[in-house]
Amino acid sequence: MQHSTVTSKGQTTIPGKVRKALRIKPGDRLEYAVEGDHATIRVHPGTRSLKGSLSSDKGKGMTFAQIREAAAKAARKRGGTR
């Protein structure tokens, strides 16, 4: 099991093996869900999930909400389950 130490400012470093397994990159946002004495971390890719989405006509005729959903679906598909 991986571990890290919390600093006096409440900061910690996510161990490299964990970052690699979750594909965490700079700019990603982490969401925490606390249940009792356990926390679950969910990774929200940063702007890298939108890479290439504006460089083609793929979204032509789609609403902004539809484009966002398609981008999120593509990011989930590329990133696998987390």
Note the Cα 79 to chain centre separation in Å: 9
Residue 82's pLDDT is 46
Residue 71's pLDDT is 83
Contact 57, 51 (CB under 8 A): no
Name residues whose C-beta falls within 8 Å of residue 41's C-beta, 6 or more positions apart in sequence. Answer: 22, 30, 31, 32
Residue 58's pLDDT is 66
Please list the pLDDT of the chain residue by residue as tens digits (82 residues): 889 999 999 999 999 999 999 888 888 889 999 999 999 999 887 666 666 666 666 667 888 888 888 888 888 887 654 4
CA distance 45 to 78: 11
- Residue 31, helix vs strand vs coil: strand
Question: pTM to 2 decimals?
Answer: 0.52
